[in-house]
Amino acid sequence: MSTTNITFQVDTCNLADYGDSYLSQLWHIAQANPAEFGDAQACEFAEHVGREIVRRWLAATPPELWRHQGRHAAAASTNSHSQAEA
């Protein structure tokens, strides 16, 4: 049986430039890292990759607009009174 060592060098300053597929691979690499739990470098790398994933997701997800408006409070109050009387 032979052993193979694989090393990845990643410039975390350029995470925004990497494609989605590659970034996904980096997430798996960060989680599979055999470093000891709490290793500062391993934790920092995983956090950088995770934050880039979240940044992209938020950038591609439009906010829900008009979910809460002033008139909704009055409508909710009217509806709750109507249901209580029924």
The pLDDT of residue 82: 63
Secondary structure, 3-state, the chain: CCCCCCCCCCCHHHHHHCCHHHHHHHHHHHHHCCCCCCCHHHHHHHHHHHHHHHHHHHHHCCCCCCCCCHHHHHHHHHHHHHHHHC
Residue 7 in any domain: the answer is no
The pLDDT of residue 77: 76
Residue 59 in any domain: the answer is yes
Does 5 have pLDDT greater than 90? Answer: no
Residue 6 in any domain: the answer is no
- What pLDDT digit, counting tens, does each position of 30-47 carry? 999 999 999 999 999 999
Residue 86 in any domain: the answer is no
Q: What is the mean pLDDT of residues 63-73?
A: 87
The pLDDT of residue 6: 87
Does 50 have pLDDT greater than 80? Answer: yes
